[in-house]
Amino acid sequence: MHVAPSTHHKKLAFRMNSSKWIETFKSNQTFSLNEMVSYEPPFHIESQELLMSLYDKWFSWLLDLESELSQVDQCDGTVRQQIKIATEQLKNTLLSEWEVKTSAQYLLWQRVYFNALDAFVSQISAISQPDPETVFSYCAEQLLGFMQHTLLIMHEIDTIMNQPNKRHFVSLDDYGCSVYRQQGKDLVSARLQAYRHNIEIDQLGEWEVKHYNNIDVPNDMHCQLQSILDQQP
């Protein structure tokens, strides 16, 4: 069957673009896994297994997205709904797998991770562009930010739960700032409150704020975080 040149070129351009994003995802995965074992001490084995599993699941999600978008000329309402459903299905899979995990680390992890994941689902649900290549680039970029955010969350919790002699911290990053600007959702303050509401963690004293952000922290977000930090344990 003869394929019109314009259609062929569009499909080729899409695949070239998606391949670059997929390569970037795998490079970021390599970086994150190296970071995980390079810290002194390295992440706890439970954290290592969890991060590897999350990268596997989200990579499969990204490949499925590539396959779906490569077959359409326009990303219409039906396609956008399918993307949203696939994202929510992965969230439900994680909920189902983790509900049997009862360690203190997993319980705290679930509380803060799903808050960030809900924000990611909202970002994906907000897709409005009709061009499949643009949509894939947007989703891939959001996923990369979310996975970096995931690594930072894991570092926070791993330090809290497994390194009691180290100073504990929360992280500010571009993903958290963007979510606050777009959705009004303060991920970092919610995490800090979750950490401090844990009886054992609440005995740990002062907290450090680590900055991994390249964009400015919204003023309201900064004030809210500082207000929580100023509260006495």
Task: Give residue 94's pLDDT.
Answer: 94
- pLDDT of the residue at 88: 96
Structure-token pair, residue 174: 């571009």
| Single pTM value for the model | 0.91
Instruction: Check residue 201 and give its pLDDT.
Output: 56
Buried-exposed string 121-135: b where 16+ CB fall within 10 A, e elsewhere: eebbeebeeeebbeb
**What values do phi and psi take at 211, rounded to 5?**
-105, 120
Is 162 in a helix, a strand, or coil?
helix
Question: What's the domain count of the chain?
Answer: 1
Collapsed DSSP state (helix, strand, coil) of residue 40: coil
Q: Which residue stretches of the chain have pLDDT < 70? A: 1-5, 199-205, 232-233
pLDDT at 14: 95
Interacting residues of 182 by C-beta distance below 8 A, sequence separation 6+? 123, 126
Task: Outline where the chain has alpha helix (H).
Answer: 5-38, 45-69, 77-98, 104-125, 132-162, 174-183, 187-196, 219-230
Range of the domain at 140: 5-230
